[in-house]
Structure 1
Amino acid sequence: LDEMQVRDFSAAEASLHEAERLAPDDPRVHANLGTVYVRQRRLADAEGPLGRALALSPDNPYALTLLAHVRQRRCAWEGLAELHARITRLLAAGSDDAYADFNAFALLAMPTTPGQQLAAARRFARGLAPALPVGRPDVSFASGERLRIGFASSDFRSHATVTLMMELWERIDRRRFELFAYGTLAPATGAVGQRVERAFEHFIDVSGDTFDRIATRIREDRIGILFDLNGYTRNARPAIFALRPAPLQINAIGFQATLGTTWHDYILTDRFSLPEPLQRFYTERPLYMPHMLYPSDTTRLPPGPPPSRAACGLPEEAFVFCCFNNAYKILPEIFAIWMRLLAAVPESVLWLLDTSTEAKENLRREAASAGVDPQRLIFAPRVGVGEHVARNAAADLFLDTYPYGAHTTANDALLAGLPLITCAGDTLVSRIAGSQLTAIGLPELITTGFAEYEALAVKLATQPGLLKSYRERLAANRRSTPLFDMARYARDFEDAMQRIWTAGAPN
């Protein structure tokens, strides 16, 4: 819908209500209305139109995945297992709906395999492919001319992508590389926006341009290597990359899975996150960073002591488990483990991010159903990046989610000196926290199953000396290991860029 492209959701909603009146039996109309509600964060309102879409088209892959995602964001788990089972069956059988694709991003937080994620991504990519294949542009650089690297994203604002990438952009050697940013959503204002724009020699606002025009601009700028920092996330404009505006195109940071395309040459990763046995589930060639795939803006941790527990609304003497992941990552299986941990560790509390009133109420209701006092769940309000990172230090142990684990939130915790435990599976989204623990020298905190994860959490919560030793190692390792050494990361990144440019297009 044109209105959705320009983010005029009120106009889009009005258009779709009229379309419902004219074509009440078209599931696409109802699914699109549900999407408009989701984009406005009206999650409860989205349930009705998505349910109507599925009543008309029970195997509509988009409506199924979006409805499951809505339930996960609301932490409204009734019927969620059935939705997940229907999605799994549909992924196995293949959908014959020519008008709907799986929501590829939403699938990452559901119990899916790498092969299923690849199938869904390939299906979505087919809808983006131009009618006629577009060849690689012929770009070369004269002796002494710098290699041009472009970064395209809708997230040049106070967003996790900037939290991770900012310091890297600032550290890249401008004698060797010329940096371009293409903002596909209106750029941020204020201090964050100013810092982002200063990090690039060329910051181009293309938010009002068509896909074709953006691709043409990138070609005219003679970009050698182009980073897709969105993938299939919210506000992404993936059709730009299907037009092949740069000779080398890299899937990086924003979408931690394959994009299933023929026009992304590489995925930026590391050998823990994407081990060689899993490469067959990626259409991109792995571009392995030597230590970890994630950079980090280490300047975001404010100087001085962290906030007190009282300032964070936490009981002074309690053992504080925490998880600041988004609500859609919290699934019933992992939450059940957390409730058993609260039962096993007297006077403990669980500190979560307050993502919405509804999610908070539903999680407290689930806690009560598990026999846990709902007041032992404490919710942290959203605050600025620096304040949020600093408050991690008030907790005792970060508990990761599964299958979509902590990414930027793991980086926040480790930067603040908070130990975390994770459960690494076969999907890339489940392995990012483990990659960071490996890079900071704490691989013992990586588990590979729920029983091991639960046992490790109990052990750390009931053996203060052991947890203290991990906290001390973490503090020491922050200064001596690769995870937060951005000077080293920048040199590794520069070497990788030069290497793939010299090698040319992969076969």
Structure 2
Amino acid sequence: MIREWMCGFLTSQAEQAFKEGDYTRVRACCQWVLHEQPEQLQLQAMLGEAALAVRDSFTARSCWQACVDANQQDAQAWFNLAKAQIQLADWPAAEQALRQAQALAPQVAEIQQSLAAVERMQTAVAAGAEAQTPAQNLTQAVNDAVANKAWQQVRELLANPRDRDAQGQRAYFLATFYLGLRDEAQQLWLPLAAQERDPECLAAAVVLSLEEQQLNHAERLLQRAQQADASHVAVRLAEAVWYAQHDTERAEKCYQQLLLDCPQEPEVALAVGGFYAQAERLAEAEQVFRQALQRDPRQAAAWYNLGTLLLTYRHDLAEATQCFEQAVERDISNTDYLNNLGVCYRSQGLLDKAEQCFLRILQLKQDTASAWRNLGLVYGLATRHVDAEGCLQRAIALQPEHAGGWLELASQHIQASAPALAKRYAEAALALEANSYTYNVLGLACVHLDQCEEAERHFNQALSLAEAEQQSGPLINLAGLYSSTLRIEQALEILESHLGEPGGFYSNYLFTLNYSPDLDHRQVLAGYRRAVEPVYPPARYQAYANPRSPSRRLKIGYVSPDFRRHACRYFIDPLLRHHDHQRFEIYAYSDVRFPDDITEVFKGMVDHWCHAPGLSHEQLAERIRADGIDILVDLAGHTAGNRLHTFALKPAPVQLSWMGYGYTTGLTQIDYLMCDRQFLPEGYEDAIAEQPWFVDSPLFCYQGNDWPLAEQSPFKRNGYVTFGCLSRTIRLNKHDLGLWAKLLQRVPESRLALNTKTLADPEVAERFAAFFTERGVARERLLFGYSSPAYVAMQDIDIILDCFPHNSGTTLFESLWQGLPFVTLRHRPTMGRMGATILHGLGRDEWIADTPEEYLAIAERLAGDTTALGDLHGSLRQEMQASLLCNGAAFTAKFESAYQQMWQRFCEVNAEEGSA
């Protein structure tokens, strides 16, 4: 079934390409479909017409021959077959086809005219009068292009096989080889192999044979090349490549001697640097490339190779970008240089620059599938999903057998919130290549379709096919599913057993550890220390040049990947908006890879803005020190895109964490974690690695949103109270669910609404429902599903139930904003106290419980006073707006006072250092 769908997809792509005159896409799509469905004559005809238009005569002849074989009465097919024969100068075959067409359509004048022209041509040929039009200066033009190593120009000059004499065949072969078209070069070498004496051609053939692992054949070719000219640079390079297969010490000597003898030859430095890079002798490879550029900075290829080295092995995105810029500046028509530069720009969120690189490639060569794919990825990141889809579809149309293209389109549709199509594209990729990565992407599509049980099967299949180094993705995804479906112990077991491995295990372990329902705060912190210590570097900086004046204007730096349309913006905004810029100079270090309109708003709130995605952790640390930041504030914790590696280096004298994560970072290099006494009660200071810095409650300030309020409370519509929770299912466990089951038994006729994405999967919903039915709660009292945005679900809820031991976060603020009271249990610091700090800031401590029994009593009391519930529904937003929870100016003043006290403490402790 999926292959039939793929045929339909590619047929539509072929039709679109035909309208656009894009023959390469037409050909790729039609050939794939015809391989699957050879009876599709309309595609034979479409391909035949396109081939005629671009003078691909052999393809045209094959297509129209298939058409006439299928229908001998089709005059147009016979006529088109004749056109193909005319292009091939096969006059007898053309005449025969035209006579068939004439017999079927004698009234068509064009057929008559073509037949007469063919008859005249045959007469001329017989008389030896066929016109000859050789290119007058072709040989000289080819020689000049070869001398300048303009290999693409050589290919263009000799594109017609009829123009290639023996010298032209050699030149065309070398051009193909040097341009990296290895398969074609192998075919071109075959007719040359027996008699060829040109040393450069023989050297190229040596490399081709080595790439095919034909070592004996390569040795014989090398001997022939050395007999022809042992001193030729290409021959000596081939000799070094040959030795590199079995005697690296001898190969290195060959390369070093070449460097001594031919330092000005660009290909020598490239080859030697490549040899060292392949041997992972990276410092030596880098030195070779840099020395080559010192001798001649015009060498585009050396800039390109240096950039590739820095990007691949050093992961130095910033300097690699500069190298690729230098390469492109010197050769703006090299698609490899443009491609790597575009990828670097894309990785830094410089989407406009990336777009220009890929568009330039497509101007040079419209049928470059990789450029279409990369351009599609750029548009996807810019949320231009329609444009992204069009580009990725073109890439698939050009390379239908490339499973990666289908997977990229699947990933794009996941990003564009179109998981049904994403799943279809992933299934298409699976039909082409059943590997671990394909199953993993298919599993992700199912997750986004809320088909968690099926996703789990795909992740397990991905694991069964994965090599050890490929297992991280499916393992982490599988752990995520377990943690969200009442199997958090299994999730932690997976993540903890892979803690020392790359791929993100440690960060997912930390995230999941927070939600474990059976660990106390000391056990959680111990897990953090165990996971964090091997990952982060020790502090690099000990001394700071910041003036030790407690009263001066302080430089405050905020570091976050969430200066964008993200839930964190509702809490960051009130702080940045109300800063006193006379007393504080505000810096933002933004790791937003793809800025949006909210990013622009944040830019206007600060004195200095640094777009940081292209900076390594070390480079960002140096930038922070150069800016003279006094207090550096982490707004992300261990969430995606964090810069804790930079904080670990300790670039600022005072460092603290707040808001984005809600728990310890586990890093002692971060001096403080912002807390209030609800968040971290007295006696629990051992729950965090940092020192707590206490401010008056509340610890957070909420900006609010423009969600509409429901006209009346749900109880008035339904006649019964509905409890609800909108938290992610990772927070749901046997403790809070068990307590809620007791609550439903205590409040007759009440309902429980759990509204979250995971529960949109009926199988997962029933897994959770079984927990309640086993405890005597009827299934019809359970309202499980998912709706978005959250206020839609809130319109059907009277009272929100907070989770424990890990409380909800943003949804608690949103609940109050929508007129819904919530009940919370003060539990494990710190995220088990989030609900308490919110309610204490609102002045509603009566909704805070210290025991499970109190929790039940508060919820039962709220449910029993439906009049008060109705009143709260209409008044709670105004109450919230009038409270400290929404007082941005007071909140910022509180934080600014904390900053000044932190700095004064630093100055007192470090007074003896002065301003050194």
Q: Answer whether TM exceeds 0.5 for this pair.
A: yes
Matches for 1:187-206 after TM superposition, within 5 Å: 187-190=594-597, 192-206=598-612
1:322 to 724, 743, 750: 724
1:135-167: CA deviation from partner (whole Å, max 9, x where unpaired): 253323879963111111111222222111212
Corresponding residue number in structure 2 for 1:160: 567
1:164-194: CA deviation from partner (whole Å, max 9, x where unpaired): 121221011111112111122314313x233
Corresponding residue number in structure 2 for 1:26: none
Corresponding residue number in structure 1 for 2:513: 107
Letter of the structure 2 residue corresponding to residue 173 of structure 1: D
Task: Report the Cα distance in structure 1 between the residues aligned to 2:544 and 2:477, rounded to whole angstroms.
Answer: 36
Number of residue pairs the alignment of both structures matches: 470
Corresponding residue number in structure 1 for 2:797: 395
1:257-283: CA deviation from partner (whole Å, max 9, x where unpaired): 222212100001101110121102322
Letter of the structure 2 residue corresponding to residue 248 of structure 1: V
Corresponding residue number in structure 2 for 1:21: none
Task: Report the Cα distance in structure 1 between the residues aligned to 2:686 and 2:885, rounded to whole angstroms.
Answer: 27
| 1:218 and 2:624 correspond | yes
Letter of the structure 1 residue corresponding to residue 682 of structure 2: E
In 1, are the aligned partners of 2:820 and 2:872 still within 8 Å (CA)?
no
Task: Report the Cα distance in structure 2 between the residues aligned to 1:260 and 1:108, rounded to whole angstroms.
Answer: 12
In 2, are the aligned partners of 1:136 and 1:244 still within 8 Å (CA)?
no
Over 3 Å counting, the alpha-carbon distance change for 1:180 and 1:37 in structure 2 is farther
1:270 to 676, 680, 692: 676
Matches for 1:83-482 after TM superposition, within 5 Å: 83=490, 98-99=500-501, 101=506, 103-111=509-517, 112-130=519-537, 133-140=540-547, 146-190=553-597, 192-298=598-704, 300-301=705-706, 306-308=709-711, 316-356=718-758, 358-359=760-761, 361-367=763-769, 370=773, 371-373=777-779, 376-377=782-783, 379-383=785-789, 388=790, 392=794, 395-465=797-867, 467=869, 474=876, 477-478=879-880, 481-482=883-884
SS in structure 1 at match of 2:643? coil
Task: Report the Cα distance in structure 1 between the residues aligned to 2:896 and 2:445, rounded to whole angstroms.
Answer: 37
Task: Report the Cα distance in structure 2 between the residues aligned to 1:61 and 1:449, rounded to whole angstroms.
Answer: 40
In 1, are the aligned partners of 2:807 and 2:831 still within 8 Å (CA)?
yes
In 2, are the aligned partners of 1:289 and 1:492 still within 8 Å (CA)?
yes
Task: Report the Cα distance in structure 1 between the residues aligned to 2:521 and 2:442, rounded to whole angstroms.
Answer: 29
Letter of the structure 2 residue corresponding to residue 103 of structure 1: Y
SS in structure 2 at match of 1:103? helix
Over 3 Å counting, the alpha-carbon distance change for 1:139 and 1:34 in structure 2 is farther
Q: CA deviation at 1:445?
A: 1.1
Over 3 Å counting, the alpha-carbon distance change for 1:491 and 1:359 in structure 2 is farther
Over 3 Å counting, the alpha-carbon distance change for 1:401 and 1:162 in structure 2 is same
Gaps of 5+ in 2: 1-311, 316-342, 349-376, 382-403, 409-435, 911-916
Task: Report the Cα distance in structure 2 between the residues aligned to 1:146 and 1:392, rounded to whole angstroms.
Answer: 45
The TM-score with structure 1 as length reference comes to 0.78
In 2, are the aligned partners of 1:393 and 1:413 still within 8 Å (CA)?
no
Q: CA deviation at 1:250?
A: 0.7
Task: Report the Cα distance in structure 2 between the residues aligned to 1:430 and 1:171, rounded to whole angstroms.
Answer: 29
Task: Report the Cα distance in structure 1 between the residues aligned to 2:754 and 2:602, rounded to whole angstroms.
Answer: 29
1:96-137: CA deviation from partner (whole Å, max 9, x where unpaired): 964464711111111222112211222233223326743253
Task: Report the Cα distance in structure 2 between the residues aligned to 1:171 and 1:456, rounded to whole angstroms.
Answer: 37
Task: Report the Cα distance in structure 2 between the residues aligned to 1:243 and 1:34, rounded to whole angstroms.
Answer: 35
Q: CA deviation at 1:422?
A: 0.6
Task: Report the Cα distance in structure 2 between the residues aligned to 1:500 and 1:409, rounded to whole angstroms.
Answer: 32
In 1, are the aligned partners of 2:753 and 2:784 still within 8 Å (CA)?
yes
Q: Which sits farther off after the overlay, 163-172 or 38-47?
A: 38-47
Matches for 1:487-506 after TM superposition, within 5 Å: 487-504=889-906
Corresponding residue number in structure 2 for 1:17: none
1:446-505: CA deviation from partner (whole Å, max 9, x where unpaired): 112333323332232133256567768856753554222222111111111111112117
| 1:71 and 2:477 correspond | no
In 2, are the aligned partners of 1:137 and 1:244 still within 8 Å (CA)?
no
1:426-463: CA deviation from partner (whole Å, max 9, x where unpaired): 22111011111112121121112333323332232133
Task: Report the Cα distance in structure 1 between the residues aligned to 2:884 and 2:490, rounded to whole angstroms.
Answer: 41
Task: Report the Cα distance in structure 2 between the residues aligned to 1:166 and 1:49, rounded to whole angstroms.
Answer: 44
Over 3 Å counting, the alpha-carbon distance change for 1:203 and 1:320 in structure 2 is farther
Over 3 Å counting, the alpha-carbon distance change for 1:148 and 1:96 in structure 2 is same
Corresponding residue number in structure 2 for 1:25: none
Over 3 Å counting, the alpha-carbon distance change for 1:269 and 1:39 in structure 2 is farther
| 1:483 and 2:894 correspond | no
Structure in which a larger fraction of residues adopt helix: 2
Letter of the structure 2 residue corresponding to residue 436 of structure 1: I
Q: Alignment RMSD, CA only?
A: 4.3
SS in structure 1 at match of 2:557? strand
Gaps of 5+ in 1: 15-29
Q: CA deviation at 1:350?
A: 3.1
Letter of the structure 1 residue corresponding to residue 600 of structure 2: Q
Over 3 Å counting, the alpha-carbon distance change for 1:71 and 1:143 in structure 2 is closer
Q: CA deviation at 1:203?
A: 2.5
Q: CA deviation at 1:415?
A: 3.0
Q: Which sits farther off after the overlay, 154-163 or 340-349?
A: 340-349
Question: Alignment identity in percent?
Answer: 25
In 1, are the aligned partners of 2:668 and 2:689 still within 8 Å (CA)?
yes
Q: Which sits farther off after the overlay, 126-135 or 408-417?
A: 126-135
Task: Report the Cα distance in structure 2 between the residues aligned to 1:208 and 1:339, rounded to whole angstroms.
Answer: 50
Which structure has more RCO (C-alpha within 8 Å, separation ≥ 6)?
1
Letter of the structure 1 residue corresponding to residue 885 of structure 2: L
Structure in which a larger fraction of residues adopt strand: 1
Letter of the structure 2 residue corresponding to residue 72 of structure 1: S
Task: Report the Cα distance in structure 2 between the residues aligned to 1:461 and 1:104, rounded to whole angstroms.
Answer: 37
In 2, are the aligned partners of 1:353 and 1:382 still within 8 Å (CA)?
no
SS in structure 2 at match of 1:260? coil
Q: CA deviation at 1:292?
A: 1.8
Task: Report the Cα distance in structure 2 between the residues aligned to 1:172 and 1:203, rounded to whole angstroms.
Answer: 15
Letter of the structure 2 residue corresponding to residue 70 of structure 1: L
Letter of the structure 1 residue corresponding to residue 897 of structure 2: D
Larger radius of gyration: 2
Over 3 Å counting, the alpha-carbon distance change for 1:247 and 1:133 in structure 2 is same
Letter of the structure 2 residue corresponding to residue 272 of structure 1: Q
In 1, are the aligned partners of 2:460 and 2:474 still within 8 Å (CA)?
no
